Structure 1
Amino acid sequence: MKSCFLPFLRCLSLVVGLCVVAGGYALVSADSGQAENHQKASRHMVTAANPHAAQAGLEILRAGGSAVDAAIAVEAVLGLVEPQSSGLGGGAFLMHYDPTAPKGERIDAYDGREMAPAAATADMFQDVLNDNSKGFYDAVLGGRSVGTPSVVAMLYLAHQKRGKLPWGDLFAPALRLAEGGFKVSPRLHYLIDRDPLLRKMKASRAYFYNADGKAWPVGHLLKNPAYAKSLKIIARAGAAGFYHGPLAQEIVAAVQGSEVNPGKLTLEDMAAYKPKLRRPICGPYRVWTICGMPPPSSGGGTVASILGILQSFDLKAMGANSLAAVHVILEAERLAYADRDMYMADSDYVNVPMALFTDPFYLSDRARQIDLQRSMGHAEAGTPPGASRIAFAAGMTPELPSTTHFSIVDQWGQMVSMTATVESAFGSRVMAGGFMLNNEMTDFSLRWERDGLPVANRIAPGKRPRSSMSPTFVLDEDRNVVMAIGSPGGGSIIAYVAQTIINVLDWDMDLQQAIDQPHFLTRGGVVSLERDTGLSALEEPLRDKGHQVRSRTVNSGLHGIIVHRGADGTWYEGAADKRREGVVVAD
């Protein structure tokens, strides 16, 4: 098999460059009111990646809605105003916390991950692997990369279990914006202006650009009557309105009739999609418990693994962002990502050895591999406790950083931590029903085997691609939630979330300080340090320890809530990442 590694990386670097730049909007006001990055409140709160979406969630909470009700309103608006990151044509993971449930049953994990069409094959991107003239863009663009959209079904399931307001009422804020229009934000303009693929697709070109092919400017009032029509169908008919009937037919027609790379999605695939209610994966960290999404997300397990390894080190004594602490955290990331890359995949198809990610004895053994003076460089995957090594090979899955996260708490103390995506910026660039369709098929490994061994995250019909999305809850010793957190960022999400938790729990930062801290991370190879921050002083010392280091722009979108309990009652602290357009709204 010929290698396309170099052209693949060239294309990948361009995609990542588009995804990680346009951040840094600290305070943004929606048309409906003012919002802030850091707030405190005692009743309810929404922190989300766009002020329109945050205000929509607050509107629902003020009307007596639950955290799940607000999440539905938030996501419906995000799909309109932040189409590069998520939407009705994508998927999501939702973590829900109920303070009234028994201690061991307070968290539910809703799996709304897309599925591969029934006609999908492991080698369906073979042309990209074999042709040196092709790169990752050739896998992303068009209908071939579209998995069965899933977020609508997942939200409908969550509403059936946790909703308080009528389903149809929850789409009113998004419907108003779709019909009346919203102003193009600086970030949206930046991304549509520089995206190399959107203009290649007729529907996307007609929506995002004027007659001369120029991106709509900042402040342009953008209306989306097609999206309004889709919302009305979903509001009236529920999930059935999305997966059956005219809207499903429009989605399938757009995929199969794509101008580039027609896809294999069928009406039968749409009708067969089912979300899943799973048990969270929880691991210990000092006196706390960290709970996240199980497979097909690798986020919950890998965050738990990083923190579990770090239990063997006194990070507080090392000091925040010190050379010693940064080195140890990077080495823990190497070990955790090695296990994740080898073993994590859809557990309905693959036997995932989950003990690797939470077993304290195994994680202590992994911690002993860390040399305080020298980087291990490449980390090998470990052997599952109590079992022989499972014969898998690591795959090739870029996981681009175009995703969104929001956190919500309602007046009853119920909380939602939800991460949603269409995978790359604007997904497949295929548009149907006024929204972008995902390219989640490229979250499977494009390489399905290596050295004669199968890749766990290879494509299979009906299988869900592995994700790094990491909606997370931190619990105290009484199993009460103390923190909800998550982020976009592709494969870097895991590191962003783990480091923010460390900032709060080990280094006693408030949530805004924790989110504002400069990022450092590795997925096993080169170390990335956030450019133009205090971390630049660590570049040479880290190299002296054997790390390969580069400085780059990063664009996390951390949005979280901390729960404070005291003699005077309970209050909430919310924070939004200044690297994007996120805000906190609350009462």
Structure 2
Amino acid sequence: MGIDRPIKCCHTTSRKYRNILKLLYIISVTLGLSWTAHAQQSADSVAPEAGGAGEVVTSDEVARSLEDKAAGRPVKADDWMVVAANPLAVEAGARVLREGGTAADAMVGVQAVLGLVEPQSSGLGGGAFLVWWDAGSGTLTTLDGRETAPLAATPLLFQTAEGEPLGFFEAVVGGLSVGTPATPALMEEAHRRWGRAAWPGLFDEAIAHARDGFKVSERMSSSIARDAERLGRFPETAAYFLPGGMPLRTGDHLRNPAYAATLEQLAEEGSAAVYTGDIARDIVATVTGAADNPGVLAEIDLALYQVKERDPVCAPYRGYDICGMGPPSSGALAVGQTLGALEAFDLRAMGPESPQAWRLIGDASRLAFADRGRYVADEDHVPVPVAGMVDPSYLETRGKLLNGARALHEAPVGAPEFEHALNWADDASRALPSTSHISIVDSYGNALAMTTTIENAFGSRLFVRGFLLNNELTDFSFRTHRGGLPIANSVAPGKRPRSSMSPTIVMRDGTPVIVLGSPGGSRIIPYVSKTLVAMIDWDLNAQEAVAYPHLVNRFGTYDIESDTSATRLEPELRWLGFETAVRDLNSGLHVIDMRDGLEGGADPRREGVALGE
């Protein structure tokens, strides 16, 4: 798997050196490629990765947090707080914050451990969106660390020779689905902008756990068992996750020396270690050499990758500003549209047990998803009516569609104000739920919300240098056109696929008050919307809000979380005209409420905890 090497004390590869390499690549390669934009899709029908909230008790501090979570109590603190999906990762972030690091420093430590202990969800081979509140400057910044399509990709990437879309897992498993990994670059960019701690030391816990071993959690083991057939297709992947041909079990002691060696190189050289040199060559060789389904990723794609700063998208709701990531994320737009359409309705008076409240929430979500499917894509490649979609007058108009007493017969696409033509076809892509979310507030008053992913559970199933590679390209539309019209989210070279990830910082009077986000594929959007309604309209605390049962409507069918009190609403929602489906809904919400000190909530559906002081 790899050879352990001691950490060196400092960065030896500068950003300047990496930029020179990029320039040399550009000069040396002739790009005879079309950069025209095409179109996009959205089905979201594949089952989520395995859940599991089995306890991972690593310390007395974690044990107390788990007790609070089980009792529905938020974790309280005054100085700093971190909430993430695994106690080992949270402890790594807590150590950094306790020693005076910033939220950006802590995120690096948290993400490095998450890539080891829940590799099915995120890691160095994936990407992320980050929302940052900087207390010193009083500014909100969003960083796009989304993967990009290789320069050799074409709009026909996921079509057969006859022009028909590939089956989903035909496209996912193997190299064809792999986009340029982005997470290492995002980690470094956030640290460069906002970090205070020394970069190499942020990887200490992850390197130690990888080298010395950690106990496999219930969620990781159940995810492996569920996906054993696909994981078994590639020898290196199978050797790690299926030793001796059997899936890893809960409690197994697992070492990953290859990941430790990769992190040591990352700590020494910075993200250039992943984007140039031997690691980059191994990534490309793994993708292009994948048996039966090779991909088109090249070393130039890695060398050229850049994190992009984008304008935050904010939408008003009851005196708050709900802020997050704009395109290629649909998250902030769809959450903002959902809440904006509800502004005129007194959800507080109705209460969380009201079928009419959930009729309104469900149909507002459907309207947001209708616009999402038509308009949202990478705005570097296609125009997106961002301002029009969250304009208060437009949202008021959309809200008037909810004035009846029964479910909408259909959720029509709107016509937000826009200076470009809006002649797009509806999308039909999938947004899958193998993702993780990190919320952090540091002692300096900075706040970070980052949602991080490799897309499907275990991504492409390709394993290299101790980590998995993403399958993010299958977030594009497999079709380029529908009914003679282009789809906004089709594949194009260098394009970033649309996402539902919704890292969110809620502002009031110019300061942050709530930090949250969730995994869950396209259900992320209603998970976040519901949590904000629960906290703002129904006065639930952070832990109560993340634990509150899910009712999710995206495309007409109302998904109701099984084995919860929400199932009592099913007959009334059916009477109101909805089709319903009772099912497991596996979110992973992580919330910090800053309105009265710091209160953290970790989703009881997964293994996460909140720690703070």
How high is the TM-score relative to the length of structure 2? 0.89
Structure 1 residue ranges (4+ consecutive) displaced by more than 4 angstroms after TM superposition: 128-132, 386-389
CA contact (8 A) 2:406 2:577 kept: yes
State the distance in 1 between where 2:486 and 2:546 align: 38
Q: Show the counterpart of 1:475.
A: 507
1:58 equivalent in alignment to 2:94: yes
| Contact 1:285-1:311 within 8 A present in 2 as well | yes
Among candidates 548, 555, 560, match of residue 524 of structure 1:
555
Deviation at 1:585, TM superposition (A): 1.3
Q: Deviations over 1:319-368 (max 9, x none)?
A: 11310100000110011110011000001111000123310101101111
Corresponding residue to 1:260 among 281, 292, 312: 292
Amino acid at match of 1:135: G
Deviation, 1:387, is 5.1
- Asked if 1:249 is matched to 2:291, the reply is no
**Contact map agreement 1:142 1:261 (CA 8 A) in 2:** yes
Q: Choose from 128, 136, 143 the match for 1:110.
A: 143
CA distance in 2, matches of 1:523, 1:122: 27
Paired position in structure 2 for 1:4: none
CA distance in 2, matches of 1:129, 1:490: 30
Deviation at 1:547, TM superposition (A): 0.9
* Counterpart selection for 2:577 from 517, 521, 546: 546
Contact between 2:551 and 2:560, CA under 8 Å: does it hold in 1?
Answer: yes
- Once residues 130 and 182 of structure 1 are traced to their aligned partners in structure 2, the CA distance between those partners, rounded to angstroms, is 47
8 Å contact from structure 2 (residues 207, 260) kept in 1 = yes
1:190-339 superposed matches below 5 A: 190-195=222-227, 196-211=229-244, 213-339=245-371
What one-letter code is carried by the residue in structure 1 that aligns with 2:278? Answer: P
Task: Report the 3-state secondary structure (helix = DSSP H, G, I; strand = E; otherwise coil) of the residue aligned with 2:62.
Answer: coil
State the alpha-carbon separation in 2 of the partners of residues 347 and 577 from structure 1. Answer: 32
- 8 Å contact from structure 1 (residues 154, 276) kept in 2: no
2:193 aligned partner, one-letter code: K
Of 507, 529, 533, the residue aligned with 2:538 is 507
Write the mapping of 1:133-152 to structure 2, written as runs, cut at 5 A: 135-152=167-184
Letter in 2 for 1:522: N
Superposed counterparts of 1:24-103, under 5 Å = 24-25=53-54, 27-30=55-58, 34-35=62-63, 36=65, 37=69, 38-102=74-138
Residues 303 and 498, structure 1, Cα contact 8 Å, conserved in 2? yes
Residues 120 and 460 of structure 1 are in contact (CA less than 8 Å); yes or no, is this contact kept in structure 2?
yes
Instruction: Report if aligned partners of 1:53, 1:78 keep a CA contact under 8 Å in 2.
Output: yes
Relative distance call for 1:368 and 1:152 in structure 2 (3 A) is same
Distance 2:257 2:395 in 1: 53
How far does residue 372 in structure 1 lie from its aligned partner after superposition?
A: 3.2
* CA distance in 2 between partners of 1:498 and 1:401 (Å): 17
Q: CA RMSD, aligned part only?
A: 1.7
Give the Å deviation of 1:386.
5.3
Asked whether the 8 Å contact 2:378–2:496 carries over to 1, the reply is yes
Q: Do structure 1's residue 563 and structure 2's residue 594 form an aligned pair?
A: yes
CA deviation profile, 1:413-454 (whole Å, cap 9, x unmatched): 111110000000000000111000000000111122100111
Q: How is 1:145-160 mapped onto 2 (pairs within 5 angstroms)?
A: 145-160=177-192
In the alignment, the residues of structure 2 paired with residue 198 and residue 189 of structure 1 have an alpha-carbon distance, to the nearest angstrom, of: 13
SS at match of 1:127: coil
Aligned position for 2:7: none
Q: Report the more deviating stretch, 71-80 or 390-399.
A: 390-399
Comparing 160-169 with 93-102, which one deviates more in the overlay?
93-102
Report if the CA contact (8 A) 1:342-1:395 is conserved: yes
1:505-557 deviation per Cα after TM superposition (whole angstroms, max 9, x unaligned): 00011011111110011112211011121121221211122111111001000
CA shift for structure 1 position 502? 0.4
1:16 aligns with 2:47: yes
Q: Please name the residue that 2:610 is paired with.
A: 584
Matched, 1:351 2:377: no
Quick check: 1:395–1:448 contact (8 Å CA) kept in 2?
no
Match of 2:446 in 1: 414
**Could you tell me which amino acid in structure 2 is paired with residue 53 of structure 1?**
A
Distance 2:385 2:323 in 1: 17
Instruction: Tell me by how many angstroms 1:381 deviates.
Output: 1.1
Q: CA deviation at 1:128?
A: 9.7
1:93–1:109 Cα contact (<8 Å) kept: yes
Q: 1:274 to 1:394 in 2, by over 3 A?
A: same
Structure 2 residue identity aligned to 1:45: M
Q: In the alignment, residue 92 of structure 2 is paired with which amino acid?
A: A
Measured in 1, the distance between the counterparts of 2:203 and 2:423 equals: 47
After superposition, what is the alpha-carbon deviation per residue over 1:357-415, rounded to whole angstroms, capped at 9, x for unaligned?
31010110111111432211321211122557511111221111110001011111111
What are the residue-to-residue correspondences of 1:382-461 with 2, within 5 Å? 382-385=414-417, 390-461=422-493
Task: Report if aligned partners of 2:210, 2:255 keep a CA contact under 8 Å in 1.
Answer: yes
What letter corresponds to residue 555 of structure 1 in structure 2?
N
Counterpart check, 1:161 vs 2:193: yes
Which whole-Å CA distance do the structure 2 matches of 1:380 and 1:387 have between them? 21
> 1:317, CA displacement in angstroms?
1.2
Contact 2:53/2:219 (<8 A) preserved: no
Counterpart in 2 of 1:183? 215
Cα pair 2:62 2:609 within 8 Å, conserved: no
Q: Any unmatched runs of 5+ in structure 1?
A: 1-7, 566-570
- Partner of 2:176, secondary structure, is helix
Does residue 496 of structure 1 match 2:496?
A: no
Q: Is the 8 A contact 1:142 1:260 kept in 2?
A: yes
After TM superposition, the score normalised by the length of structure 1 is: 0.93
Secondary structure of the residue aligned to 1:191 is helix
User: What secondary structure is seen at the aligned counterpart in 2 of 1:404?
Assistant: strand
Which letter maps to 1:515? V
Looking at structure 2, the residues matched to 286 and 95 of structure 1 have their Cα atoms a distance apart, in angstroms, of 21
Counterpart residue identity of residue 112, structure 2: A
What is the distance in 1 between the residues matched to 2:565 and 2:157?
45
Q: Verify the 8 A CA contact 2:546 2:602 in the aligned structure 1.
A: yes
In 2, Cα distance between equivalents of 1:585 and 1:80: 20
Distance 2:262 2:404 in 1: 56
Report if aligned partners of 1:142, 1:255 keep a CA contact under 8 Å in 2: yes
Q: Distance in 1 between matches of 2:607 and 2:178?
A: 27
Alignment of 1:359-398 (within 5 A): 359-385=391-417, 390-398=422-430
- Is the Cα–Cα contact under 8 Å of residues 385 and 418 in structure 2 kept in the other structure? no
Query: Structure 1 residues 323, 253: CA separation in 2 closer, same or farther (over 3 Å shift)?
Result: same
Superposition deviation, residue 33 in structure 1? 5.6
